[in-house]
Amino acid sequence: MVRIEGVVLPNEKRVEYGLTYLFGIGLTRSQEILEQTGINPDIRIKNLTHEQIAAISKYVNQHFKVEGELRKNITLDIKRLQEIGCYRGLRHKKSLPVRGQRTKTNARTRKGPRKSANVVAGKKTVTKK
């Protein structure tokens, strides 16, 4: 069981792909880490030595923001945009797409499930006897 930055990496995967389980590290960055530390990308995570794990962990800590620190920075950036009241901040507040996408259709991921159009708040339907 290999743990880097508080994340348990899957034992059966190649190191190249296992490192992508860290938030903030994709395939390109993973390959860069392995190149700089001199570790073969074809080796499985379970076959890493303690020295190799330490080298990866040290390189990641020195050169990248990952996991909690990165999530915190992203949250603070969004909060700052909302506080200064810029357009992007307002879009974040309203849970709408921020980067210019259309909203008439195809914004369901950001807007959430559809709300029923025929329901009026507080109005009761009349039933006949």
Interior angle at CA 80, CA 59 and CA 4, nearest 5: 20
Q: Is pLDDT of 119 > 70?
A: no
Structure letter (DSSP) for residue 114: P
3 state SS of 77: helix
pLDDT at residue 107 in the model: 87
Q: Are 5 and 70 in contact (CB under 8 A)?
A: no
* DSSP one-letter string for 7-57: EEEPTTSBHHHHGGGSTT--HHHHHHHHHHHT--TTSBGGG--HHHHHHHH
Residue whose pair of structure tokens reads 């800590």 in the numeric block: 61
pLDDT at residue 120 in the model: 65
pLDDT digits (tens, 9 = 90+) for 77-112: 999 999 999 999 999 999 899 998 888 888 888 888
Classify domain 68-111 at the CATH class level: few secondary structures
Name the band, by pLDDT with cuts 50, 70 and 90, for residue 127.
Answer: confident
What is the rounded CA–CA span in Å between residue 91 and residue 81?
10
What is the rounded CA–CA span in Å between residue 37 and residue 33?
6
pLDDT digits (tens, 9 = 90+) for 3-54: 888 889 998 999 999 999 999 999 999 999 999 999 999 999 999 999 999 9
Domain coordinates in residue numbering, the chain = 2-63, 68-111
Classify domain 2-63 at the CATH class level: mainly alpha
What are the structure tokens assigned to 105, written together?
């259709």
